Amino acid sequence: MIRLKRAYLPAAPGDGRRVLVERLWPRGVTKARLHLDEWAKDAAPSPELRRWFGHDPAKWAEFRGRYVAELRAHPAAWQPLLAAARRGRVTFIYAARDPAQNSAAVLKAFLDRQLSRRD
């Protein structure tokens, strides 16, 4: 099972494996406060795609499609996350303000589809 949680919220025992799925470290958050098990930089959108999107809601649909294409082209970046989700609870940590329109939500949806195909 995969859950999403903003980097600025406190860690909780029920989070399971905590994975930062951002290419950049969240501003103002210390490593100690984040309580990460892993930082999956390579599973995050490319720097070019991230800059192009800029969290512009008008670009959301296009961003999702481009990011999924990047994920399909680089399965080695997300396959360990998929394996971890098969073993137990994983919480993707993200920094974006919008809880619905962010790269972690796209990654979660992509991996949820992968999980449903195998389960």
CA nearest neighbour of 20 among 72, 30, 100, 67: 30
Domain holding 88, by residue range, is: 2-118
Task: Identify the pLDDT of residue 118.
Answer: 61
**Token pair recorded at residue 119:** 């389960």
pTM reported for the whole predicted model = 0.94
Task: List, for residues 52-66, the tens digit of each pLDDT value.
Answer: 999 999 999 999 999
Task: List, for residues 64-103, the tens digit of each pLDDT value.
Answer: 999 999 999 999 999 999 999 999 999 999 999 999 999 9
Please, is 117 exposed, middle or buried when counting C-beta atoms within 10 Å of its C-beta (0-12, 13-18, 19+)? exposed
Number of structural domains (the chain) is: 1
Question: Are the C-beta atoms of 29 and 101 separated by less than 8 Å?
Answer: no
